[in-house]
Amino acid sequence: MNYADEFRDPVAARGVLAAIARVTDEIGATREKPVHIMEICGGHTHAIFRYGLDKLTPPGLEFIHGPGCPVCVLPMSRIDECVEIAERPGVIMTTFGDAMRVPGHRKSLIQAKADGADIRMVYSPLDALELARRHPDREVVFFGLGFETTTPSTALTILQAAADGQTNFSVFCNHITVPPPIKALLDDPHMILDGFVGPGHVSMVIGVRPYDFIARDYGKPIVVAGFEPLDLLQSVLMVLEQIRDGRAEVENQYSRVVPDDGNPVSIAACAEVYAPRPSFEWRGLGEIDASGLCIRPAYAAWDAEVKFGVGYGKGPRAVAEPDGCRCGDVMTGRIKPHACPQFGTGCTPEMPLGALMVSSEGACAAYYQYGGLRLEAAL
Amino acid sequence: MNQRLRPPRRVVADRVTLAHGGGGKAMRDLIEDVFTSVFAPPGMEDQARLMHPSLLEPGAQLAFTTDSFVVSPMEFPGGDIGTIAVCGTVNDLAVGGARPLWLSAAFIIEEGVEIATLRRIARSMQTAAEVAGVRIVTGDTKVVGRGSGDGVFVTTAGVGVIPPGRDLLAGKVRPGDVALVNGVLGDHGAAILAARGDMALTTDVVSDCQPLNLLIEAVLAAAPDVRCARDATRGGLASALNEIADAAGVGVVIAEADLPLRPEVKGVCEILGLDPLYLANEGTLVLFVPPDQAAAALAAMRGTAAGRGACSIGQATASHPGTVVMKTVFGGGRIVDMLVGEQLPRIC
Amino acid sequence: MGVRRQVNVACILKDEPIEALIGTWSLIHVGFAMSRINEEEAALTLDILRQLGEAQAEIEAMRASERMLAS
């Protein structure tokens, strides 16, 4: 028992898949008139393609790949600002590997590194703090990005730095939150979604109640899901059953990891360190109210935006995304990735144009690398 | 052999300085003490003068290859830059069907490298060469200033002989051919990642670096119609399979359930969001065999030290030429594409 | 054995000595233990999955025997 392999058992999957087919049928969904379920989280998108799950579910069930890939939705201007900080003399910029290839207007971090900036990949913000300890003569900046899952780790690291008086460490904070973009999607008059698979690791921190509005105000079912393939399939089944029964509830499939109220230590650390920004820009979706976090003034000494005078409200912002990019339409489910005119030609994982081609958690990159049309032709 | 008549020269310094690259006594002492005393080349001229009876066989072909090696850290669990510098070039010859005979070894050494490190690297090279049955017959050293290199860079070139009638080519793979690997995947990549230390992970995984020429000889003796072999080095198994699919104009289907992976390597991959199919190997190959010789090839591999974990992972198909597809453990499928640039950790 | 990495356990430690964590499973993310695995809940979830699997196996067995009878 390790609480992962059991949830990858292909034999057990047959039962869930059969039930998914049955319930899809009972709903009356067909290839022509499918039921649309959005998996919000990029980790789920990745798992769907990684295990080929979309090829195993019935044609009446269509996955819409949501905005929950923090790297994909990072706006170009934030990359520009990160590069600007990284290129200051004496700075060591630390980042998760995920962000290295995200294009900015000028360059990506990987290009900035080639041009001489000291940019290092880390596994944990704690490793960035350790680097600051080892290099007291340098300014170590951590490129903080991610949803609620990752938000507490950065907060706890800032609290640690504050406790240690480690003043050559700071965070360039790009943390964002899941509920606001979901609300934005639901407010879209062209919205076609019938239900949601919710991000389990986000809920591990914030609990399941922040999704209440989805069921209560919009009448859509949401099931908080784990990340193993059986978790994902079971959650899809639970969403379908709600749709069939005419229910709209917040259910928790991932109860082995997600307490309904989340993690109190994480929540407290985040409340201590962060305040909501009035709005934050999402690549492909635009500015969304109260969707981003900044570091509170009490911790300004560890806020790279304050320390380096770079960031929101500190200069003109070029928010325009590249011409012809239809990431927004893909994210809202209006078109499939390969229906975008740039897909595979003007926009590839080697030279991503739009957000969703950047990380393998992005729908377009997943389509391009793992399957989509080429796989359909192959199978 | 007049150098045998005088006592061997010794290096007295602890670390390499620019003096060791200056062409004078310091350089001569370094070469003799650290390298030629270990490699024991057949002479000390600027070239090696060589003869081998297999070159005289009618229809024999000379095979010649070169490769440069940079690895950080230079020493890692399971080997060092010297081990892979020998194994890499031996394997490049062997997967083409050549019997490796001789290697050259050229070193670009950064000022400040410890002499003791160089000695260990040289000994690793000689050990690997002895396992593979090749000789390091000529070489060179250069020293660059601190900051102009990264420890030691090694370039090896290798010469071997392809026996008459042997013709391993990726382009010869046909639909129905079976794909075999000699053992677990990704050990080298995972060991290096952990040894590098910047992700602060530790594991007991050691690099798989090993020569594969004896294994290939054994397989060819048992399964003479082997179509081709590829060592799955940089870019991992995924890149090797894609190159073969592309060259032969066939599709390749592999089964996820059949891929041999250590739990630790899976663990490193899950923690860092990496795909083991793209992790580097330094002693792992994939070969394609006609189906009626697959069992014989597999048995022959398993009879060698480098092939105990050999298994079948998939086959070539007539459908989807040029594309590698993996059947997942769930029965779904996904495309296994060439790597885009370098595989980066995917964490957040 | 396995892969080792130092992690911060602040988020999963309640009013208890750190030794209380020995033998428990936790989900780790970016160097932090984020949530203790609730073994009872895991067993319940697996149970539901197992039942779905068994039900499907029965259906498949029934279909197979119907095919046998029909042929």
> Which residues are CB-neighbours of B91 under 8 A, at least 6 positions away?
B211, B212, B213, B231, B233, B282, B283, B285
Nearest Cα of chain C lies from the Cα of B301 at a distance, in angstroms, of 27
So what's the pLDDT on residue A12?
86
User: Is residue A335 exposed (0-12), middle (13-18) or buried (19+ Cβ within 10 Å)?
Assistant: middle
The pair phi, psi for residue A143, each rounded to 5°, is -85, 90
Q: Are B157 and B175 found together in one domain?
A: no
Nearest Cα of chain B lies from the Cα of C6 at a distance, in angstroms, of 8
Q: Is the peptide bond before B73 cis (omega within 30 degrees of 0)?
A: yes
Residue B177 lies in a domain: yes
So what's the pLDDT on residue A5?
85
- Is C52 close to A12, i.e. CB distance below 8 A? yes
**pLDDT band at C56; cut points 50, 70, 90:** confident
pLDDT digits (tens, 9 = 90+) for B211-235: 999 999 999 999 999 999 999 999 9
Q: Work out the average pLDDT over B86-95.
A: 98
| Among C30, C52, C57, beta carbon nearest to A125 | C30
So what's the pLDDT on residue A225?
98
**pLDDT band at A374; cut points 50, 70, 90:** low
Cβ pair B134, B158 in contact under 8 A: yes
Cβ pair A256, C39 in contact under 8 A: yes
Nearest CA in chain A to C15: A265
* Count of Cβ atoms closer than 10 Å to residue A22 Cβ: 16
Length of chain C in terms of residues written: 71
Q: Are B263 and B315 found together in one domain?
A: yes
So what's the pLDDT on residue B2?
47
Nearest CA in chain B to C1: B204
| Among C1, C3, C30, beta carbon nearest to B201 | C3
What's the complex ipTM?
0.91
Residues in chain C with CB shorter than 8 Å from the CB of B193 are none
Nearest Cα of chain C lies from the Cα of B185 at a distance, in angstroms, of 16
Going by C-alpha positions, the residue among B225, B223, B220, B235 that lies closest to residue B94 is B220
b/e per residue, A339-366, with b = 16+ CB within 10 A? ebebbbebbbbeebbbbbbbbbbbbbbb
Which of the listed residues B142, B162, B182 is the one where a domain comes to its end? Answer: B162
Q: Are B32 and B150 found together in one domain?
A: yes
Residues in chain A with CB shorter than 8 Å from the CB of C11 are 152, 156, 263, 265-266
Nearest CA in chain A to C48: A234
Q: Are B145 and B194 found together in one domain?
A: no
Flag whether pLDDT at A373 surpasses 80.
no
pLDDT digits (tens, 9 = 90+) for A327-361: 888 887 788 888 899 998 889 888 888 878 888 78
Q: Are B111 and B223 found together in one domain?
A: no
- Is B331 close to A56, i.e. CB distance below 8 A? yes
So what's the pLDDT on residue B80?
98
Q: Are B135 and B59 found together in one domain?
A: yes
User: Is residue A108 exposed (0-12), middle (13-18) or buried (19+ Cβ within 10 Å)?
Assistant: buried
Flag whether pLDDT at A30 surpasses 90.
yes
**pLDDT band at C68; cut points 50, 70, 90:** confident
Tally of domains in chain B: 2
pLDDT digits (tens, 9 = 90+) for B112-126: 999 999 999 999 999
Nearest CA in chain C to A225: C45
Identify the three-state secondary structure at position B292: helix
| Alpha carbon distance B241, B243 (integer Å) | 5
| Alpha carbon distance B129, B139 (integer Å) | 14
Residue B9 lies in a domain: no
Residue A35 lies in a domain: yes
Which region among A233-237, B43-47, B209-213, B317-321 has the lowest average model confidence (pLDDT)?
Answer: B43-47
Which of the listed residues B106, B133, B162 is the one where a domain comes to its end? Answer: B162
pLDDT digits (tens, 9 = 90+) for B166-208: 999 999 999 999 999 999 999 999 999 999 998 999 999 999 9
Q: Are A222 and A91 found together in one domain?
A: no
Question: What tokens does A26 get?
Answer: 């009972």
| Among C1, C6, C30, beta carbon nearest to B204 | C1
| Alpha carbon distance A14, C59 (integer Å) | 11
Question: What tokens does A92 get?
Answer: 């060591």
Q: Work out the average pLDDT over B74-95.
A: 98
| Among B200, B263, B348, beta carbon nearest to C5 | B200
| Among A8, A53, A97, beta carbon nearest to B345 | A97
Cβ pair A202, A147 in contact under 8 A: yes
Residue with tokens 């104009």: B249
B337 to chain A, any CB pair closer than 8 A? The answer is yes
Quote the domain boundaries for residue A93: 76-175+262-308
Tell me what percent of the residues of chain B surpass a pLDDT of 90.
Answer: 88
A259 to chain C, any CB pair closer than 8 A? The answer is yes
Flag whether pLDDT at B1 surpasses 50.
no
Question: What tokens does A44 get?
Answer: 């789920």
Q: Are B40 and B93 found together in one domain?
A: yes
Nearest CA in chain B to A41: B348
Residue B345 lies in a domain: no
Going by C-alpha positions, the residue among A157, A129, A176 that lies closest to residue A273 is A157
Residue by residue, DSSP assigns C1-55 as --EEE--B-GGG--SS-GGGGTT--EEEETTEEEEE--HHHHHHHHHHHHHHHHH
| Alpha carbon distance B66, B92 (integer Å) | 8
pLDDT digits (tens, 9 = 90+) for B287-320: 999 999 999 999 999 999 999 999 999 999 999 9
Residues in chain B with CB shorter than 8 Å from the CB of C8 are none
Q: Are A123 and A241 found together in one domain?
A: no
- Is C37 close to A12, i.e. CB distance below 8 A? no
Which region among A17-21, A125-129, A321-325, C46-50 has the lowest average model confidence (pLDDT)?
Answer: A321-325
Tally of domains in chain A: 2
- Distances A234 to A8, A95, A258 between C-alpha atoms, Å: 12, 34, 16
| Among B267, B347, B348, beta carbon nearest to C3 | B267
So what's the pLDDT on residue A1?
67
Q: Are A112 and A168 found together in one domain?
A: yes
**Which residue, among C35, C37, C63, would best test binding to A if mutated, counting the most A CBs under 10 Å from its CB?**
C35
Nearest CA in chain A to B346: A98
Q: Are strands A91-95 and A118-121 parallel, antiparallel or unpaired?
A: parallel
Which of the listed residues A252, A271, A299 is the one where a domain comes to its end? Answer: A252
Residue A326 lies in a domain: no
| Alpha carbon distance A247, C46 (integer Å) | 24
| Alpha carbon distance A17, A251 (integer Å) | 19
Question: What tokens does A342 get?
Answer: 């740039």
| Alpha carbon distance B287, B285 (integer Å) | 7
Nearest CA in chain A to C35: A257
**Which residue, among A7, A121, A124, would best test binding to C if mutated, counting the most C CBs under 10 Å from its CB?**
A124
Residues in chain A with CB shorter than 8 Å from the CB of B328 are 50-52
Quote the domain boundaries for residue B200: 170-335
**CATH number (domain holding residue B123):** 3.30.1330.10
Which residue blocks in A28-107 are alpha helix, DSSP H?
Answer: 42-50, 76-86
- Is C25 close to A125, i.e. CB distance below 8 A? no
Residues in chain B with CB shorter than 8 Å from the CB of C28 are 271
Q: What is the mean pLDDT of chain B?
A: 94
Residues in chain C with CB shorter than 8 Å from the CB of B271 are 3, 5, 28
Which region among A71-85, B204-218, C52-66 has the lowest average model confidence (pLDDT)?
Answer: C52-66
pLDDT digits (tens, 9 = 90+) for C5-19: 999 999 999 889 999
Residue A138 lies in a domain: yes
The pair phi, psi for residue B66, each rounded to 5°, is -145, 155
Identify the three-state secondary structure at position B220: helix
Flag whether pLDDT at B5 surpasses 70.
no
Residues in chain C with CB shorter than 8 Å from the CB of B268 are 3
DSSP H/E element including B138: strand B135-144
Flag whether pLDDT at A278 surpasses 90.
yes
What would you measure as the largest C-alpha separation in chain B, in angstroms? 70
Name the region of A372 (left: φ>0; alpha: ψ -120 to 50; beta: rest): left
Task: Output A208 or A327, whichever has higher pLDDT.
Answer: A208
List the beta bridge partners of residue A250.
A222
Length of chain B in terms of residues written: 348
Identify the three-state secondary structure at position A229: helix
pLDDT digits (tens, 9 = 90+) for A37-72: 999 999 999 899 888 898 899 999 999 998 888 888
| Among C2, C6, C28, beta carbon nearest to B200 | C6
Q: Work out the average pLDDT over A86-100.
A: 96
Question: What tokens does A174 get?
Answer: 């790009």
B194 to chain C, any CB pair closer than 8 A? The answer is yes
Nearest Cα of chain A lies from the Cα of B272 at a distance, in angstroms, of 7
Which residue blocks in chain B are alpha helix, DSSP H?
Answer: 25-30, 37-39, 81-94, 115-132, 187-196, 213-222, 236-248, 263-272, 294-302
Angle between helices B213-222 and B294-302 (to 10 degrees): 140
Q: Are B141 and B178 found together in one domain?
A: no
**CATH number (domain holding residue A15):** 3.40.50.11750
Nearest Cα of chain B lies from the Cα of A176 at a distance, in angstroms, of 12
Q: Are strands A139-146 and A169-175 parallel, antiparallel or unpaired?
A: parallel
Q: Are A108 and A199 found together in one domain?
A: no
The pair phi, psi for residue B228, each rounded to 5°, is -160, 165
Nearest CA in chain A to B348: A146
Residue B261 lies in a domain: yes
C54 to chain A, any CB pair closer than 8 A? The answer is yes
So what's the pLDDT on residue B76?
97
What would you measure as the largest C-alpha separation in chain C, in angstroms? 67
Nearest Cα of chain C lies from the Cα of A187 at a distance, in angstroms, of 32
Question: What tokens does A327 get?
Answer: 């990431």
B276 to chain A, any CB pair closer than 8 A? The answer is no
Cα A285 from chain centre: 13
So what's the pLDDT on residue B236?
97
Q: Are A61 and A164 found together in one domain?
A: no
Q: Work out the average pLDDT over B17-27.
A: 91
Residues in chain B with CB shorter than 8 Å from the CB of A377 are 320
So what's the pLDDT on residue A376?
64
Q: Are A108 and A169 found together in one domain?
A: yes
Chains with at least 3 CB pairs less than 8 angstroms from chain A: B, C
Residues in chain A with CB shorter than 8 Å from the CB of C30 are 96, 123-125, 150, 153
Question: What tokens does B101 get?
Answer: 């005979």
Nearest Cα of chain C lies from the Cα of B261 at a distance, in angstroms, of 13
- Distances A116 to A95, A106, B112, B153 between C-alpha atoms, Å: 16, 15, 23, 21
Nearest CA in chain C to A149: C29
For chain A, the straight-line distance linking the first and the last C-alpha, in angstroms and rounded, comes to: 34
Tell me what percent of the residues of chain A surpass a pLDDT of 90.
Answer: 68
Q: Are A18 and A155 found together in one domain?
A: no
Q: Are A10 and A86 found together in one domain?
A: no
> Which residues are CB-neighbours of B41 under 8 A, at least 6 positions away?
B48, B135, B136, B137, B138, B139
Which of the listed residues B162, B187, B212 is the one where a domain comes to its end? Answer: B162
Residue A350 lies in a domain: no
Residue B100 lies in a domain: yes
Q: Are A234 and A272 found together in one domain?
A: no
Which region among A240-249, A357-366, B142-151, B165-174 has the lowest average model confidence (pLDDT)?
Answer: A357-366
Nearest CA in chain C to B193: C3
Identify residue A10 by its one-letter amino acid code: P
**CATH number (domain holding residue B195):** 3.90.650.10
| Alpha carbon distance B35, B136 (integer Å) | 10
Q: Are A24 and A129 found together in one domain?
A: no
